[in-house]
Copies of this chain bind each other. A is one copy, B any other.
Amino acid sequence: MRELKEKILKEGRVLSDTVLKVDSFLNHQVDPQFALKMGKELAGRFAGAGVTKVLTVEASGIAVALTTGLVLNVPVIFAKKKKAFTQEPGSYYSNIFSFTKREMVGIYVNKKFITRADRVLIVDDFLAQGEALRGMVGIIEQAGATLVGVGVVIEKVFQGGGKALREKGVRIEALAPVASLAGGKVKFINGLN
């Protein structure tokens, strides 16, 4: 998505070879019109796939998940976070490692919101090591629902988080796939196109 890539080049800050900060329009301050554009783009890529629910995890995935759900006209579920290893009754549950917080975090979804009949699209702001994604896939599997695909705003492809799922044939769409942040420069896969 060219407009997103241009926005990343203009407003993003590369803090290290693995950290890209885009808090001016995605992670802390959100540009609602632009969030709607990204939602339209993601919804368009999964149009006709029969999505019945969008799943994200709190907090920074909510904006784009919401606009994607708005365009697809389906409910949006945000998995909640809590301290790890404490079971939440009546919920599907995964433990994931938070690289940002350097600790295990539990994420859960109430069982009544995902059923076997659901076709779930996972939406998130970032795909890096893929821990949050792995946790959400685990929740969908526990529910016996179908994973339709994954839509993310920024994928740091070099961190490999999407690899295992792609090898299983899951479709992952990234609006801005980043090949490298080396030397303080954002390099996109396939350039700006």
Contact = CB atoms under 8 A, between A and B. Distances in A.
Nearest to A35: B66
A69 B109 CA distance: 27
A52 B77 CA distance: 29
Contacts of A36: 70
Contact of A59 (B35, B70, B78, B112): B78
Contacts of A185: none
A66 B28 contact: no
Contacts of A35: 66, 70
Contact of A62 (B63, B70, B113): B63
B28 A80 contact: yes
A47 to B, nearest CB: 16
Contacts of A76: 29-30, 32, 63
Nearest to A53: B29
Number of copies of this kind of chain in the complex: 2
A110 B22 CA distance: 13
Interface residues of A, number: 30
A66 B62 CA distance: 9
Contacts of A109: 28
A69 B35 CA distance: 11
Contacts of A60: 58, 78
A193 interface: no
Interface string A64-105: 001101100111111010000000000000000000000000
A33 interface: yes
A29 to B, nearest CB: 5
A31 interface: yes
A30 B78 contact: yes
A178 B58 CA distance: 27
B59 A28 contact: no
Name the residue in A32, A62, A78 with the highest tally of chain B Cβ atoms < 10 Å from its Cβ: A32
